[in-house]
Amino acid sequence: MSSAAPAPGRSIPAPVITPETRPFWEAANEGKLLLPRCRSCGKVHYYPRARCPFCGGEADTWIEAKGEGEIYTYSVMRRADPPYAIAYVSLTEGVKMLTNLIGADFDRLAIGQKVRVVFVPSESGQKVPMFTPLLP
């Protein structure tokens, strides 16, 4: 999985990293997208938290996602300078995550389009997962 840069003129606020979410962010710096899985019910959830939102069990195990999915929905913020695309991406593991779409012609984005994860440095240097279309 590759690294990428944000659009020129755009800086990405650094994520707040907590004891609950540190493994996710450390893996992101190594180019891996981790998802939390519950010890009790086995379900994967998002955004990551220490207690399973489905059954309340401990969700302190992590699986590595394939980093592939499709656009569930998106919107290009035309009023921003530079414009950017916010989206929910539906991962092959079944959860949807809020993200940005980069490296794309914003006028050719479409719901259902296949995307893959890329890791983009934020203001602190911490990398955050974003997605780019497989066929730009």
Partner 1 sequence: MSIKGKAFIVGAYEHPTRHAPDKTVAQLHAEVAIGALEDAGLRKEDIDGYFCAGDAPGMGPLSMVDYLGLKVRHVDSTDTGGSSYLVHVAHAAEAIALGKCRIALITLAGRPKSEGMATGTAPRAGNPNLPELGFEYPYAPTVVNTYAMCAMRHMYQYGTTSEQLAWIKVAASHHAQHNPHALLREVVSVEDVLASPMIADPLHRLDCCVITDGGGAVIVAHPDVAKSLKRPLVRVIGAGEAVKGQLGGEVDLTYSGAAWSGPRAFAEAGVTPADIDYASIYDSFTITVLMQIEDLGFCEKGAGGRFVADGNLISGVGRLPFNTDGGGLCNNHPANRGGMTKIIEAVRQLRGEAHPAVQVKDCALALVQGTGGSLGLRHGSATLILERT
In the complex, the residues that contact partner 1 under the rule CB under 8 A are 12-18, 20-21, 25, 43-49, 52-54, 72-80, 84, 86-88, 94-100, 111-112, 122, 128, 130
Q: How many CA atoms lie within 13 A of 87 on its CB side?
A: 31
Pick from 55, 76, 86, 109: which binds Zn ion (CB under 5 A)? 55
Tell me, what DSSP letter sits at residue 42?
A: -
Report what 63 binds from Zn ion, partner 1, none; CB cut-off 5-8 Å by kind: none
Q: Give which of partner 1, Zn ion, none residue 17 binds (C-beta under 5 to 8 Å, depending on kind).
A: partner 1
CA pair distance 129, 121, nearest whole angstrom: 9
Q: Could you tell me which stretch among 2-10, 49-57, 62-70, 75-83 binds Zn ion (CB under 5 A)? A: 49-57
Q: Is 119 within 8 Å of 4 (Cβ atoms)?
A: yes
Per-position x/- string for 9-38, each x denoting binding to Zn ion as judged by CB under 5 A, each - no binding = -----------------------------x
Q: Which amino acid is at 119?
A: F
Would you say 116 and 68 are in contact if contact means Cβ atoms under 8 Å apart? yes
- Parallel/antiparallel/unpaired status of strands 2-3 and 114-121: parallel
Q: Which two tokens stand for residue 128?
A: 């955050």
- Residue 57 interacting entry, from Zn ion, partner 1, none, C-beta within 5 to 8 Å by type: Zn ion
